[in-house]
Amino acid sequence: MASSAQLLDGKQLAQTLQTQLAERIQTLQTQHAGIRPPGLAVLMVGDNPASAAYVRGKERACAKVGIASFGQHFPGTTSQAELEATIEALNQDDRVDGILVQLPLPDHLDAVRLLHLIDPDKDVDGLHALNLGRLVRGEPSLRSCTPAGVMRLLAAYDIPVAGKSAVVIGRSILVGKPLALMLLQENATVTIAHSRTPDLAAVARRADILIVAAGRPGLVDASMVKPGAVVIDVGINRVTDTTGVSRLVGDVDFDGVAPIAQYLTPVPGGVGPMTIALLLENTVQSYCQRHALPWG
Ligand code: GUN
């Protein structure tokens, strides 16, 4: 189907950001002889195939821009104590600027306790209560990569946020809540909708900027979108069709919504690559702060 919405090309923008980061890292290493490269530790527990694919993507991207990886992959039976000891060691490790615990974790583990053990200055996922608190206060902080990636995508396409009605569908701590706060900080009028919201379609139709992070394929169809809206699809769902072929789809019915939206993100190639780019950027930001180098 011919689409009228302009695509927000996260893949291309992420590529540009990564090239800039690679140049930055290269320059810093030339200017400061003997300085170590930035380092990131991604911790993964168990064999969730989607998580494994994300972690591989993150490590590949690190290698491309010149960030050293200190990732560890633990069996699904690993104890809380072992993971806590690992995080404490990484907090002390001078080669490491960023620590990320890939979520979700197996049920026997206390994810929040692990996240709160991470040194807030190395919390490149922005999930520590201190960084979330700074976000609530509108203070500078390490910010969650997916919501920060969405904001960067809007900015790169000069999409105005101030004064707009923004509706975020989804209230997760990873995306919905921090994104609502970032939009609020940019002076949008923000509504957070979720699975218990009555008449979700009517709420969604009020949005100038509609952000969908519910994890439900096809949740948003054309009847839920105001003509001319900006639609950001954060969903990444693997679905299998009747012939057994599997593919990635978002939470938005792309073909139905494309003719009426002004801007729309594709899945894949929209928000996903931006998450990785912002993770790398957070790691370099943390590195610069640790070495008292200028950032931004
Ligand atoms: N699982 C899916 N997305 C993310 C993310 O951005 N960070 C972490 N830690 N886990 C995830």
Q: Are residues 156 and 259 in the same domain?
A: yes
Instruction: Please give the distance, rounded to the nearest whole angstrom, from the Cα atom of residue 29 to the centre of ligand 1.
Output: 29
> 157 Cβ partners below 8 Å, 6+ apart?
6, 8, 263
* DSSP one-letter code for 224: G
> Is the CB–ligand 1 distance for residue 286 below 6 Å?
no
Nearest in space to 276 (alpha carbons), one of 60, 98, 119: 60
On whether both 168 and 93 belong to a single domain, the answer is no
pLDDT at position 258, please? 98
Q: What is the pTM of this model?
A: 0.97
Q: Is 125 a catalytic residue?
A: yes
Output the average pLDDT for the chain: 97
CATH number at residue 68: 3.40.50.10860
Q: Which of 57, 52, 44, 54 is nearest to 106 (CA)?
A: 44
Task: Give me the pLDDT at residue 3, please.
Answer: 57
Cα 280 from Cα 282, distance rounded (Å)? 5
Query: Which CATH number is 230's domain given?
Result: 3.40.50.720
- Taking CA atoms only, the protein residue closest to ligand 1 atom 8 is 102
Query: Which of the listed residues 122, 137, 165 is the one where a domain comes to its end?
Result: 122
CB 103 less than 6 A from any atom of ligand 1: yes
Angle at 8 between CA 213 and CA 40, to 5 degrees: 65
Domain range spanning residue 245?
145-271
Give the residue, 296 or 256, on which the prediction is more confident. 256
Q: Are residues 114 and 163 in the same domain?
A: no
- Would 150 be classed as within a structural domain? yes
The domain tally of the chain equals 2
- pLDDT tens-digit profile of 224-266? 999 999 999 999 999 999 999 999 999 999 999 999 999 999 9
Is 131 domain-assigned?
A: no
- Residue linked to tokens 């810093």: 28
Q: Is residue 24 part of a domain?
A: no
**230-264 burial: b if 16+ Cβ within 10 Å, else e:** bbbbbbbbeeeeeeeeeeebbbbbbebbbebbebb
Report the C-alpha gap between 110 and 179 in whole angstroms: 24
- Report the residue among 56, 99, 101, 103 best suited for mutation to probe ligand 1: largest number of ligand atoms under 8 A from its CB: 103
Q: What is the pLDDT of residues 24-48, one digit of tens each?
A: 999 999 999 999 999 999 999 999 9
Q: Residue range 179-191: average pLDDT?
A: 98
Rounded Cα–Cα distance for residues 279 and 101 (Å): 12
Whether residue 97 sits in one domain with residue 204? no
Kind and range of the H or E element at 82? helix 80-92
pLDDT of 2 reads 53
For atom 9 of ligand 1, the residue with the nearest CA is 102
Question: Do 158 and 249 reside in the same domain of the chain?
Answer: yes
